[in-house]
Chain A
Amino acid sequence: MAQEMLKASANPLLPVVCKVTKIVDETPDVKTFHVTSENGKPFTPMPGQLGMVSLVDVGEAMFSVTSQGEDHLEFAIKRVGMLTDALHEMEPGQEIAVRGPYGNGFPIDMCKGKDLLFIGGGIGLAPLRSLINYCFENRNDFGHIQIIYGSRSPADLCFKDDIFNNWPKQENTRVDITVDKGDENWTGNEGFVPQILEEVNPSPEGKVAVVCGPPIMIKFVLQSLAKMNFTDDQIVTTLEMRMKCGIGKCGRCNIGSCYVCLDGPVFTLKQLNNMPNEY
């Protein structure tokens, strides 16, 4: 009857031990961790889905899976607190624990056949990257891809190899990078993301805008998109909340009657406008 319910396959709270196989320094406070379990990937997420990552003796927190390979997952993690401090101190070979996938992920069906406009700021590019990579892997399913990404300084740009080399080389793709303030070697755009967005001035025709970044960037990006006549159901974003269980039981990540861990983290602006302003 109730046999083996606490064991891994039947217990959604029991994590899988994974090895950190590679650590990439993205910026002074962001590192990307490649993790793999004994049996390869601990799970296969869809773009925008989440994984609960833990150093078992320190703590657990929810992160978006920024990318995946044949046998590994990638988490890009900014150093902001106790657990992320400890994660940043790790060396390759460290064993951590991972469970997932959680959340709804990006609405692939809604994006199929459309042009996509990605707007990201800082570490906000991490969740977008999972969908961007998915689009390039399934290039014929999507139209023109436009990526606008910015950070405080050139050093704070994440995934430099992707944004400067891999993505601009893709067909029917445009990448605009900006920094708030450049340094002596910077020859690119200077200015905030919403400014660059207004200069690029994309038409909303047949497009889905996928936005993630700091709250202040999102606020002004949404104003600009409204000015360009993007409707609220054409704008998609992904949220962060404190989470403990990831499976809709522990209570804390609710916005009204929605649980971000189950019903999110991805919402259209139209959905968000129908929810209490408490996130």
Chain B
Amino acid sequence: MKIINVEKIPEIIKKWQNDCEVFVPVDNEGAVDFIPWSEGSKITLEGNSLVPPKKLFFPQTETLYKYETKGQSANVIALEEKTAQRIIFGIRPCDLKSLEMLDDVFLTKGFVDPYYKLKRENTALVALLCAEACDTCFCTSMNIDPGAASGADIVACKSGEQLGLQAQTEKGEELLNKVSQLTTEGEIDFKKAGNFKLQADIEGLAEKLKEHFESPYWEAACRKCIGCGTCTYLCPTCHCFDINSNTRGDHGIKTRCWDSCMFSEYTLMAGGHNPRPGKKERFRQRFLHKLQYFPERYNKTACVGCGRCLAKCPAIVDITRIITELREVTGIGTGNVESVS
């Protein structure tokens, strides 16, 4: 393992920045965000970002292609590919796991999304293990280990003022070689996060939910939701998008932007029919998608326990509580949840 004092992290980043862009978690007036590192950027190694790093692979707004129109003629112009390499420094194990779900969506089932694929291929991942659980996170309930980071090129862990760096791939090896003059060989005493305040047990739930689509539970559960969509935007596994035209004069760009199943327009069809017309249907869609539909389609639960949705929900809709209530509704018992004082 390579060791470096946390104060020296900017020096590593600077070295890497020579031939690629490095995104780091920076505290910006109380909200942590992944932004390209620049001289003076204050990297934060505590907690997690407000907006998940999915935005670096699946941006909130992204141009798909350009077009021109003139009279009756139309022209569609493909974008030039950006091949610059990028590094994301400090991605947490939960958000790292969410990339596996996004990979399933964007890269499988017969169609590969080239916009996502390009960014995935051009990006090296430096994961930062969690030594402390936030008040609102519950990754272990989603079978994610806060002390492991499979899929990352480099795993980093912090103990006191020391940061340990371990390469997991060839790409990671190369990156560490580039900064070998700044690091020393050694081990650090890292203890991964335990004592999660929030817990939920999803074991056996997906199979049972199928029979409870029409349960009166949904009517009751959705009541306090205000349909703002914050949960979907902050969710690292939510992947829904809209496609729009933005025209100026005789040319324009086709863009896609994050969309949300919490909005009525999302499924509203020309002619007025809406298969999910009310809050109950949309609320049910969000939770069944995470807990039943996604597991059926991709064999994974579409929740990584990052807790952003419940931390930022204005109505305090708590997915761990919903999971617990659904266990009761489906009659599979309270499940394996340790009581935490």
Interface, chain A (partner B; CB < 8 A):
1-8, 10-17, 55-61, 80-84, 91, 93-97, 240-242, 244-245, 247-252, 254-257, 262, 276-279
| B267 adjacent to A12 (CB under 8 Å) | no
| A249 adjacent to B79 (CB under 8 Å) | no
Interface, chain B (partner A; CB < 8 A):
64-65, 67, 69, 72-76, 78-81, 83, 105-106, 109-115, 117-118, 121-122, 213, 239-245, 247, 252, 254, 256, 259, 261, 266-271, 275-276, 281, 285, 288-289, 292-294, 296-297
Chain A residues, CB < 8 A from B72: 91, 93-95
Interchain residue pairs A-B with the least CB separation, the first 7:
A81-B270, A251-B240, A247-B111, A257-B296, A5-B114, A95-B74, A257-B293
Once the chains are docked, how many angstroms separate the CA of A47 from the CA of B34? 47
Evaluate whether A6 and B79 lie within 8 angstroms (CB atoms) in the complex, with A57-B245, A244-B241 already known: yes
Q: Closest residue of chain A to B77, judged by CB?
A: A14
Q: Closest residue of chain B to A58, judged by CB?
A: B245
Once the chains are docked, how many angstroms separate the CA of A84 from the CA of B105? 30
Chain B residues, CB < 8 A from A251: 239-241, 259, 261
Q: Could you list 13 examples of A-B contacts with CB < 8 Å?
A: A6-B79, A6-B115, A14-B76, A57-B245, A59-B244, A80-B270, A80-B271, A93-B72, A241-B267, A244-B241, A251-B239, A256-B213, A257-B292
Counting residue pairs across A and B whose Cβ atoms lie within 8 Å, the total is: 149
5 new A-B contacts, CB < 8 A, other than A15-B76, A59-B245, are A6-B114, A11-B78, A14-B78, A91-B72, A252-B267
Once the chains are docked, how many angstroms separate the CA of A277 from the CA of B213? 9
| B111 adjacent to A12 (CB under 8 Å) | yes
| A3 adjacent to B78 (CB under 8 Å) | no
| A5 adjacent to B118 (CB under 8 Å) | yes
CB distance from B299 to the nearest CB of A (A): 11
| A249 adjacent to B106 (CB under 8 Å) | yes
Evaluate whether A278 and B276 lie within 8 angstroms (CB atoms) in the complex, with A248-B111, A249-B106, A251-B241 already known: yes
Chain A residues, CB < 8 A from B81: 2-6
